[in-house]
Amino acid sequence: MVWLGIDLGDARVGLALSDPGITLAHPAGNIQVYGDSFRALDEVVDVIEDESVDHVVVGLPLLLSGEEGKSAKKARRWTVNLEKRLRVAVDDENYALKEVPSIELVDERLTTVTAHHQLFDAQVGGRKHRPMVDQQSAVVILQTAIDRRERPEERGL
């Protein structure tokens, strides 16, 4: 089993993958989206197929109040579109997907701040943060979901 974490952004969509035992998340790169995260959908489907992903965790950017704003609604729409693309991929003989992976939304408030702190702690220079912060945010999102797997009462949005 492998899980995929996704941090949606306007410039880049960050990706993270779990180890097969689903204990640790690690960076898996970025997809350039040039202002439209929906451009990443096909590449994400390819990653899901190539890595045999069983479960997808998408960051849900709630407002600090906990309410859903414009970005959270966009993340929900993006997730619905991903699920539709995955259903098509399962039906398409050119894809190796046998079934649609489950998709979960996870509160991503302050993940970018956490990602920046982690990059500073790893002594990654400030100029190198921009291309790395999206995938590091995806790591934080995915690791949160992995850690909650042990505590199911904290899951679900």
pLDDT at 121: 62
Would you say residue 74 lies in a domain?
yes
Ranges of residues in the chain whose predicted pLDDT is under 50: 154-155
Pairwise CA distance, residues 21 & 26, whole Å: 13
Query: What CATH number is given to the structural domain containing 123?
Result: 3.30.420.140
Number of domains making up the chain: 1
Q: The whole model's pTM is what?
A: 0.84
Would you say residue 137 lies in a domain?
yes
Would you say residue 157 lies in a domain?
no
Pairwise CA distance, residues 116 & 5, whole Å: 17
**Which three-class secondary structure state does DSSP give residue 140?**
helix
pLDDT at 18: 98
pLDDT at 154: 47
Would you say residue 66 lies in a domain?
yes
Q: The domain containing residue 129 runs over which residues?
A: 3-152
pLDDT at 84: 95
**To the nearest 10°, the Cα dihedral for 157, 4, 150, 141?**
-60
pLDDT at 98: 81
pLDDT at 78: 98
pLDDT at 75: 96
List, in sequence order, the alpha helices (H) in 51-125. Answer: 70-91, 111-121
Would you say residue 16 lies in a domain?
yes
Would you say residue 138 lies in a domain?
yes
51 by Cβ neighbours in 10 Å (0-12 / 13-18 / 19+) ranks as middle
Would you say residue 77 lies in a domain?
yes
Would you say residue 141 lies in a domain?
yes
